[in-house]
Structure 1
Amino acid sequence: MKQLVFLTLLLLFLGCQSQTKDSYVYNPPPELADDLQTGTLTEVGLDSVPIIKAVNKIGAGRFGEIHSLLLYKEGKLVLEEYFPGHIYQWDGPRHHGKLVNWDRDMSHSIMSDTKSITSVCIGVAVDKGFIADVDQSIFDYLPEHQHLARDGKEHLTIEHLLTMTPGLEWEEWNAPYSSLENPIIGIWYSEMDPVSHILSGNLVRAPGSGFAYYGGSQILLGEILKNATGMPIDEFSQQYLWEPLNIENANWSVRFENGVIESAGGLKLKPRDMLKVGITYLDEGVWNGEQIVSSAWVAKSRIPYKSNTGIKVPGETSRKQGYSYSWWINPLEHQGEQIEAYHAGGWGGQKIIVIPPLKTVIVFTGGNYTGRVPQFRIVEKYLLPAIDEH
């Protein structure tokens, strides 16, 4: 009798396993009142088999924590999936807070994708004439910090900040983000205001001559934007970016004690709204027929700045990358060839990936803050093979 009960329970268990394993059933994204057109994988010529494999593996936790995956091709959002995961919490284990079931209505900390949004805002400010030229000195727009324009720093330009080539000593990849030794974390514990703290760093190389990853550059850009336009970046982006893109509830959620907005990594957006930014760049700065940012600005974001090539990003599983105007440049493998791609990239696996030759944008959010970030492996192994351009 005991053996019969055991066998019955075992069969039930195996039956449940067979139902949950590889159980994903594709459903096209719904069309909402957000100006995104939706469609099916078949309508844009995508093979569902590798895509279904990818979603099943993500759902099974094979790639750590991935919270969302969206795929847009040829004018339509054709894949939109969300997964369980943790809300970001700096002082939590592995920087994980509460476990939630992510969905399209939930805003996500997009981390350093914020830098790319800040760059969009600077581009718009240049287009509108608030900023005359990216070759201007940063001190033209920092009136309260003129005393720091010395020891070679007077040569720092807006373009140096956009490309992370100001030549300051700061380098945030040399220490974990849980450490006060990390210079982007150290700003919060400084006795100086954020702008003074960032510019207090020693100049260790000629501006424009070498790349060093440090979000202080984009924090300075946020203050430059405020002083150039008379609007802090949250108000400026609301008027010139979010409203034209029909984006609601964008949240510049992180501010320093003196009110300076953390414009390097403090923005929260919904994944569909991240996608809209990527589509705007895919379409040469145009959204729904309106030129949001100039095509020239987009073009500068797609080509590595001077010597900003061969950069190995910690935790990434992709090849070395380039960097320009606060976007990463990383060609991808497709059908035995390298094709153009560039992206906004944020800690933990936040990605807005633009692939112009395939008329494709891919968005990820995630919570792999202390492990490998596998998004490009998923793209090259599963998503791009679904696209047959021959």
Structure 2
Amino acid sequence: MKNLFTAIFILLLIVSCLSQSTIQYIYNPPENIKDGLDVGTLAEVNIDSSLIIKAVNKIYGGRYKEVHSMLIFKDNKLVFEEYFSGHKYKWDGDNHYGELVTWDRNMPHHIMSATKSISSACIGIAIEKGFIESVHQSIFDYLPEYQHLNSDGKDKITIEHLLTMTSGLEWDEWGAPLSSSNNDLVGLWVHCEDPINCILERPLLDDPGTSYTYSGGNMVVLGEIIRTATKMKIDEFSKKYLFEPLGVDSSTWAQKFDNGVIYAGGGLIITPRDMVKFGVTFLNNGDWNGKQIISEQWVEKCTTEYRNNKGINIPGQASGRHGYSYSWWLKSYPKSGKKIDMFNAGGWGGQEIMIIPELNTVVVFTGGNYLSDVRVFNILEEYILPAIN
């Protein structure tokens, strides 16, 4: 009798596994919700749906762990939009996981360091509007409260150096996990009453503009420069000059220091569709539905590698080497016997706004792979790029 029950249990287990493996994703085009994004189908823009379906089935099967959303915009249409189950972000949760939810298009998502590219856009807009004269100005032109730290060659640090991660200031954000106070970024919350002071008092290790060091601290200072130059904090400025023109009403700058300074390098919360809008604006050289929100010159800077910012490996990503520009990552991929260029806003855990001008395409991902490898670039390379004809 015991053997009979064992055999029945094994049989039921096999049947269950077979039934799960035969569940196949069925493609449904995005819904037109009149948010400024036109919609269409994969077939209309000549994308092979079979490859996209394979990618989605792999996501459902857990191959890429926590992917929360995947969206594809091509030829002026949102043609793919899918959401998955996963955890909300929680700093002090196991794996930084909070509540388990099924994501949908109405749920804003932490975009982590993809925020940097949005902060960069705010600097570009501030220059275009005349609040800031030039990226080549010393940062101390806009930091009146911190002139006591303007010494030992730090006056040579420009706004451009902050944007390109070449300030030369001592910083280590990749040498310790983002759950440790030994990480210089985390240390700003743990050890500092005034984060701007803590960043600028650090020694200058290299001449500004000569070496790359990834630094969320640079972006904190940029946020302060926006505040002093425009008399608006970056949340107010971005809402007025970027998000409202895009028709974005979901934006929340969720991370602020105790003294009120906004962390302009991460923690912005917006929806994946709103990430698409931002990406489309850069795809169209700063234009959103006929309105020039960001200058073409700024977009060009964001798509051009800065000096020696090349060959950079990003921790936690098996995505190869990247270049870096005005707070955007740069990478090339082979397709049809040639290389095509991509620039992307990237954030911890798998938050990505990928822009591929040659294919007239924007791809957006959100995810929760905070302590595991992010492999959304594999999805792009293995499925999405080959699907585009």
TM range (shorter): over 0.9
1:238 aligns with 2:239: yes
> Unmatched 5+ residue regions in structure 2?
none
Cα offsets for 1:178-213 (capped at 9, x unmatched): 110100000012244010011111100000000000
Shift of 1:335: 2.4
Q: What secondary structure sits across from 1:112 in the alignment?
A: helix
Cα offsets for 1:139-187 (capped at 9, x unmatched): 1111101111101111110000000000011020111111101000000
- Equivalents in 2 of 1:4, 1:351: separation in Å? 49
Q: Report the residue type matching 1:199 in the other structure.
A: L
Deviates more, 1:252-261 or 1:16-25: 16-25
Moved over 6 A (4+): none
Give the conservation status (yes or no) of the 8 Å contact 1:352–1:361. Answer: yes
Q: In the alignment, which residue of structure 2 is the partner of 1:381?
A: 382
Q: Report the residue type matching 2:267 in the other structure.
A: G
> Unmatched 5+ residue regions in structure 1?
none
Q: Report the residue type matching 1:47 in the other structure.
A: D
Q: In the alignment, which residue of structure 1 is the partner of 2:257?
A: 256
Give the conservation status (yes or no) of the 8 Å contact 1:334–1:380. Answer: no
Cα offsets for 1:367-386 (capped at 9, x unmatched): 11111110111101011111
What is the 5 A alignment of 1:53-132?
53-132=54-133
Q: In the alignment, which residue of structure 2 is the partner of 1:141?
A: 142
- Equivalents in 2 of 1:156, 1:371: separation in Å? 35
Shift of 1:274: 0.5
Give the conservation status (yes or no) of the 8 Å contact 1:164–1:214. Answer: yes
Cα offsets for 1:97-142 (capped at 9, x unmatched): 1111111111111000000000000000011110000000111111
Shift of 1:365: 0.4
Q: Report the residue type matching 1:148 in the other structure.
A: L
- In angstroms, what is the RMSD of aligned CA positions? 1.7
Q: What secondary structure sits across from 1:106 in the alignment?
A: coil
Shift of 1:270: 0.3
Q: In the alignment, which residue of structure 1 is the partner of 2:280?
A: 279
- Equivalents in 2 of 1:190, 1:345: separation in Å? 27
- Equivalents in 2 of 1:70, 1:14: separation in Å? 33
Q: In the alignment, which residue of structure 2 is the partner of 1:212?
A: 213
Deviates more, 1:135-144 or 1:8-17: 8-17
Over 3 Å counting, the alpha-carbon distance change for 1:351 and 1:216 in structure 2 is same
- Equivalents in 1 of 2:192, 2:27: separation in Å? 53
Give the conservation status (yes or no) of the 8 Å contact 1:349–1:367. Answer: yes
Q: Report the residue type matching 2:386 in the other structure.
A: P
Q: Report the residue type matching 1:93 in the other structure.
A: D
What's the TM-score once normalised by structure 1's chain length? 0.96
- Equivalents in 1 of 2:176, 2:121: separation in Å? 28
- Equivalents in 2 of 1:5, 1:96: separation in Å? 37
- Equivalents in 2 of 1:104, 1:236: separation in Å? 25
Give the conservation status (yes or no) of the 8 Å contact 2:193–2:259. Answer: no
Q: Report the residue type matching 2:219 in the other structure.
A: Q
Q: What secondary structure sits across from 2:279 in the alignment?
A: helix
Q: What secondary structure sits across from 1:340 in the alignment?
A: strand
| Count, aligned residues | 388
Give the conservation status (yes or no) of the 8 Å contact 2:139–2:225. Answer: yes
- Equivalents in 1 of 2:265, 2:142: separation in Å? 18
Q: In the alignment, which residue of structure 2 is the partner of 1:334?
A: 335
Q: Report the residue type matching 1:173 in the other structure.
A: W
Q: Report the residue type matching 1:276 in the other structure.
A: K
Q: Report the residue type matching 1:178 in the other structure.
A: S
What is the 5 A alignment of 1:143-158?
143-158=144-159
- Equivalents in 1 of 2:212, 2:10: separation in Å? 60
Determine what percentage of the aligned residue pairs are the same residue: 55
Give the conservation status (yes or no) of the 8 Å contact 1:110–1:265. Answer: yes
- Equivalents in 2 of 1:48, 1:22: separation in Å? 17
Q: In the alignment, which residue of structure 1 is the partner of 2:228?
A: 227
Shift of 1:22: 4.3
- Equivalents in 1 of 2:66, 2:382: separation in Å? 18
Q: In the alignment, which residue of structure 2 is the partner of 1:193?
A: 194
- Equivalents in 2 of 1:8, 1:163: separation in Å? 59
Give the conservation status (yes or no) of the 8 Å contact 2:216–2:265. Answer: yes
Shift of 1:6: 6.1
Shift of 1:88: 1.1
Over 3 Å counting, the alpha-carbon distance change for 1:387 and 1:95 in structure 2 is same
What's the TM-score once normalised by structure 2's chain length? 0.96
Q: What secondary structure sits across from 1:51 in the alignment?
A: helix
Cα offsets for 1:216-264 (capped at 9, x unmatched): 1111111100110111111111111111100012000111011000110
- Equivalents in 2 of 1:247, 1:20: separation in Å? 39
Q: What secondary structure sits across from 1:281 in the alignment?
A: helix
Shift of 1:91: 1.6
Give the conservation status (yes or no) of the 8 Å contact 2:193–2:258. Answer: no
- Equivalents in 1 of 2:135, 2:5: separation in Å? 77
Shift of 1:96: 1.2
Q: In the alignment, which residue of structure 1 is the partner of 2:300?
A: 299
Over 3 Å counting, the alpha-carbon distance change for 1:233 and 1:22 in structure 2 is same
- Equivalents in 2 of 1:94, 1:63: separation in Å? 16
Q: In the alignment, which residue of structure 1 is the partner of 2:362?
A: 361
Q: Report the residue type matching 2:352 in the other structure.
A: K
